[in-house]
Each structure stands twice: as C-alpha cells, then as structure tokens.
Chain A
Amino acid sequence: MGSRVSREIGHDEYDPWGTLSLIVVYFVALTLMWLFTYFVEFVGNTPTVMGMIVPVMLG
C-alpha cells in the first residue's frame, strides 16, 4: 500500500518553494529591522557621540 503513494524524486526535482518563500520573508524582515534600528533609532537619535576616527584618517 505504501508503495502506491510514495514516489521517489531526484535531487533537482525537490522543490520546497514554501520554505524558500518563508526564508525570503525572514531575510526581508531582518533587513528592514536592521535598517530601522541602525539608521532611524540609533543614527537618527542625534546628537551622537562623535570620535577621532575621521580626524585620525584625515590627519
């Protein structure tokens, strides 16, 4: 009975598009959250402590 419903597929035939779309959504969420926390919440929270890196590089 099991042999009737089971089917063997090749490596490239395997197509987990649901997993792929979940990971894409996860990556997009990560990117947006990163941009928000860094550029809006951190850099946008001026004034920010500025340092010596730029003068050192210029000098």
Chain B
Amino acid sequence: MRIHQYEKLWIVGAMILIVGFIVTITYGSVGLGITMIGDEEETIAPDELNDDEQFGEPRVEQVGENEYAAYVVAQTFIFQPDPIEIPANNEITFHVTSRDVIHGFYVPGTNINAMAIPGQVAELTVEFDEPGEHGLICHEYCGSGHHTMEGLIVVQPEDEFDLTELSAETPDTVTSGEQVQLNATVENGQLEPLETTVDAEIGDQTFQQNITVDGNSTQDVTFTAESTQLGVGEHDWTVTVDDYEETGSVEVVSNETAAAEGGEES
C-alpha cells in the first residue's frame, strides 16, 4: 500500500499529539503530584459525627512537621469550623464530611473542589503558598439556604500561625482580705513546645510569667493579688499571651457586705 507523503506527515503529527497529551498528564501526576480525590477513604456514620474523635470537634490540628489536618463538617447551611485557620507553605489535608445532605466544598479560583457526602470522608491535600483569605462555598444544591452556605479559609503567614488557646477565670466576688486568684490556662495545639510570656493585670497590679508549654498539652498559670491592696469595688482583669487576650472583672466586697450576704464567695 502506498501512502502519500502528506498523509504520512499528519499520521505522525497525530501520534505526536497523543503522546504529548499523555506526557503532560504523566508529568502533572508524577512531577507535580497532582491527584484526584479518590473514593477509597474511610466511611463514617453521619449521625455519629458528634461522638467521633475527629469530627466531634471540627478543627485544625498538627499531624507532623509542616503537616496539618483540617476536619471539616458541612451541614445545612454552614461549614465547621468557621473560619478555618491554616498556615501558608504547609501541607494541609482536609477531611470533609457532611452531617445531613450532600454539600459541596469548593474554594473558588482554585482546584480545591470536592463533594461532602454524608457517610463518606473526602480527603484532599493542598498547600497554600501565599497568606490570605479564601472564600469557601457549597456548590451542590443542599436546600433553601444553599445560596448562603459559605465558609472562610484564613491562610496565615507560617511564622504567625499557632494553635494556642487561652482561657482565664477569676471568682466573681472576693471578700476583702482574701486573695484574688486568676487562673489562666494556655493550650498549645502544635507539636513544638511553646515558649511564651503570660502578662496579667488585675486592677492596677501587673504580673508576668514566662512559661513553656509542651506540644499538644496545656499549662495552668495562677496569679494572686491581695484584695486589700485592690480595695473594695469592681476591678477589671486582663490576661495576654502573644496575640490572645482574655478579660473579665472581679468584685471585691467589704467584710461587712460579705457578712450581710452570708459571707458567700464563689
């Protein structure tokens, strides 16, 4: 069979095109590591999410050096947690599931696009290079409030990101003469130990304490002020750790008032 020269040319050209398509796809998956969201992930009963170790408390947690896991629950018509705070330049693996009906998990302008299916966990690993805020929307019709279903992904600079949580409390009232105790709890959700300073202020008295909180643990700090020095009345207190601040107030009541009320202190 004789094939015309031009015909040979475009047969070869078509072959080169096909090989080129395959080479680019292979380069994308092997060289760049692009993948599709598979269906081989674990399953979970949607009505038992609250008892689940991971989805019971939707959150971001550190699972390795430069690796974080975000457990996201979609339900009518919100995403939990909201906002999802993650560090830039770290591998984030989203585990997304739904509590009720099928929802979408889509970050517009990116290739982050998954379905949140009740009973299934979609697992997708992404890395944000730049800090910034990204909207997160549901793009599977899920009910009358579908158009309002949105979340927020806040990508923080790597060196500013932490998983620190601060809580603090004092008694509501303290009898004059007794000590005012301010209990602060610092939680460090990251794997690295956290070295920081706790600043506290009760009325006009200031306190400072350096602490080291081990990875994935909490530490309690107690500050004590003499109520006689504060004087009778309401006093504001503030606890500050890095960028976190807790405030409240404590009332110092005089002995007579306390006695009249039965000397009660909480």
What is the interface of chain B mostly: helix, strand, loop, or mixed?
mixed
A51 touches B13 (CB 8 A): no
What are 20 residue pairs bridging A and B, where the CB atoms are less than 8 Å apart in the complex?
A11-B4, A27-B10, A31-B20, A34-B21, A43-B28, A43-B32, A45-B109, A46-B110, A46-B129, A47-B110, A47-B126, A47-B127, A49-B36, A49-B37, A49-B124, A49-B126, A50-B34, A51-B125, A54-B30, A57-B30
A16 touches B6 (CB 8 A): yes
Enumerate A3-30 residues with CB–CB distance to B below 8 Å.
11-12, 14, 16, 19-20, 23-24, 27, 30
A51 touches B21 (CB 8 A): no
Query: Number of B interface residues, CB 8 Å?
Result: 34
What is the bound-complex CA distance between A41 and B252, given in angstroms? 65
Verify if A52 is at the interface (C-beta below 8 Å from B). yes
Q: Chain B residues with Cβ under 8 A from A45's Cβ?
A: 109-111
- Selected contact of A23 from candidates B13, B37, B125, CB within 8 Å: B13
B111 touches A53 (CB 8 A): no
Verify if B196 is at the interface (C-beta below 8 Å from A). no
Verify if B217 is at the interface (C-beta below 8 Å from A). no
Enumerate B109-134 residues with CB–CB distance to A below 8 Å.
109-112, 124-129
